[in-house]
Amino acid sequence: MLVDFNFRIIFEYLPLFLTGLKSTFLISVVSIILALITGIIACACRISGIKTIKYPAIAYIEIIRSTPLLVQIYFLYFGLPTLGLRVPEIQTGILALMLNSGAYIAEIIRAGINSVDEGQLEAGTSSGLNYFQRMRFIILPQALGVTIPPLLGQNIVLVKDSALLSLISVMELTRCGQTMTSERFMPSEAFFTVAFFYMCIYFCLKAVADWSQRKLIFREAY
């Protein structure tokens, strides 16, 4: 019951949770930026007509989407050292989140590009626009409006998936909750606090995405 809920212990461990929040936020932001770059590159290769870059991009996207993120994390964390590559825990986590989310972002962007009516592309071609001009003035402005909501969803998934990094000893929010539980055996207080901070990150991301979408709509209107 709520009467048994110990808020004092939460304040006692608040510095630890703030450290975990900072770590989770930094890992998430860096991973989101790198995943966007990876997704854009993978999408560009995926829709390219050059087979030497198209098929490796398809293989990367399909392999990542068909395997669990936890398996990918374990492969990078335990598998790379056996190949002679030793990467610290945080960098391993960022790499795993980047590769995983990048594959989904590539497909989201590709779906947005494919949603543009082919007649508009033909009209752009007949108007003398080259490929890059068609992408800049016709395809991307429309694709951005379509892709922002699913990109927001994917970024939120990435933030929540960062909790899996606790399994490789990264001191992020979930790991802080596990630490408090093991030391004080108060799982309700520990993971209530973890959930609260994840919600704070979620609403921050949602506010940024809503602002970006409103700005995009305003720019298209005027």
Which parts of 55-168 are beta strand (E)?
none
Residue 201 identity: I
Q: What is the C-alpha to C-alpha distance for residues 209 and 199, in angstroms, rounded to an integer?
A: 15
For residue range 85-121, what is the model confidence (pLDDT) as tens digits? 888 889 999 999 999 999 999 999 888 888 777 776 6
Residue 101 identity: S
Rounded to two decimals, the pTM is 0.84
For residue range 176-187, what is the model confidence (pLDDT) as tens digits? 999 998 888 888
Please report the pLDDT score of residue 2 as a whole number: 53
Please report the pLDDT score of residue 131 as a whole number: 63
The sign of the torsion formed by the CA atoms of 54, 44, 208, 29 equals: positive
Contact 80, 111 (CB under 8 A): no
SS3 label, residue 216: helix
Q: Which domains does the chain have, with CATH numbers?
A: 12-221 (1.10.3720.10)
For residue range 109-166, what is the model confidence (pLDDT) as tens digits? 888 888 777 776 667 666 766 666 666 667 766 777 778 778 888 988 999 999 999 9
For residue range 3-32, what is the model confidence (pLDDT) as tens digits? 567 788 888 888 999 999 999 989 999 999
Of 9 and 2, the structure prediction assigns the larger pLDDT to: 9
Structure token pair of residue 39: 């997704």
For residue range 30-79, what is the model confidence (pLDDT) as tens digits? 999 999 999 989 988 898 878 899 999 999 999 999 999 999 999 999 98
- DSSP 8-state code for residue 127: T
Please report the pLDDT score of residue 1 as a whole number: 47
CA distances from 35 to 14, 39, 43, 106, 218 (A): 30, 6, 12, 9, 27
